[in-house]
Amino acid sequence: MRVFLDANILFSAARADGAIRRLLALAEAAGHELWADAYVFEEARRNLVAKASSGLPVLEAMTARIKIGGLFAGSALPPDATTLPEKDGPVLAAAIHHRCDVLVTGDRTHFGPLHGKTIQGVSILSPSMLAEIVLE
């Protein structure tokens, strides 16, 4: 399964050796591919610089394990995803473009209403929803 990681997931995994980092390691060990693109990677990097710069080396090390797709200037989102703010639309568009099976995000405010839904082949999951799949 291809798992697209939102910036907040990358940030959390890089910032602390906690549940998110372990979840990604378990997903990878189970044979799932971890994906991101330049847009979310740069957002995670900017947030680490501002809030937790000690996580920058961890984020850089993660690039060896995550497939980083190029910046995707996506087309219009499908009607069921038009409620996303302008900054979040490119995240879903990139997950669709890179043919990922899931988009995992901790953003409950903007993506929460879409958790559990599948849009153009991409299921939008919270970290706990991903854990349920990985730990089956």
Q: What is the pLDDT of residues 47-82, one digit of tens each?
A: 999 999 999 999 999 999 999 988 766 556 666 666
Q: What pLDDT does residue 121 have?
A: 95
Question: Domain 2-134 classified CATH 3.20.20.370?
Answer: no
E strand or H helix at 113? none
Q: What pLDDT does residue 89 have?
A: 87
What backbone torsions phi and psi does residue 4 show, to the nearest 5 degrees?
Answer: -85, 130
Domain boundaries, the chain: 2-134
> Which 8-state DSSP code applies to residue 81?
G
Q: What strands, in cross-sheet order, belong to the sheet with 67-69?
A: 67-69, 33-37, 2-5, 102-104, 122-125, 118-119
Residue for token digits 């302008």?
Answer: 86
Pair of tokens at residue 109: 């405010």
